[in-house]
Amino acid sequence: MAENNLNNKEALDKLKAIVDQIDVGTVCSFPAESEYPHGVPMSRQEVDEDGDIWFICSAESDTFKNIAQNPKVSLFYADPKHYTFLSINGEASLSRDQERTNRYWNKMMEGWFEKGKEDPNIRLLRVTPKDAHYWDSDSNMIVNLFKMLKVRLTGETEDIGKEGDLNI
């Protein structure tokens, strides 16, 4: 893979494109009583103009409790079919912003919060990326496997995609 580090708006656009493409990522928080991270799949609500990634969570969840003690988080997004991956480390913050909750609310949320938009346990989780790294291909996995095989058999170089840091 060719290295292609991106900066500022270009990095923000790449981060947003990958998160929007994949949607559900693994949010890892760090419990005080464990040496291992606690990971849960979560659907992003928005990547805002600053690159912050927003989620809805419950004040009763382990993720909420962990972040209340330690704001460091890691997010992982993977789309193996398109050979697109993203790793983000950042700082999380928790809030109860009813205007944003109203904007993000959808039918799927009703399954998680039986009392609706007014549920007192609804919290917004905002992740501010501190560093991010991506791996991305313009082709699907099968095409990439053929390209890798060609490189192995012929010794010729073949571009199978790009990877690099996202400096937002």
Task: Look up the CATH number of the domain holding residue 141.
Answer: 2.30.110.10
Q: Please state the pTM of the whole predicted model.
A: 0.85
Strand 53-58, strand 122-136: pairing? antiparallel
Full residue range of the structural domain in which residue 142 is found? 2-167
What's the start-to-end Cα distance of the chain, in Å? 22
Count of the separate structural domains present in the chain: 1
Instruction: Read off the pLDDT of residues 20-75 as tens digits, 9 standing for 90 and up.
Output: 999 999 999 999 999 999 999 999 999 999 999 999 999 999 999 999 999 999 99
Q: Tell which residue, 60, 1, 57, has the closest CA to residue 27.
A: 57
Written as six digits, the tokens of 48 are 């805002």
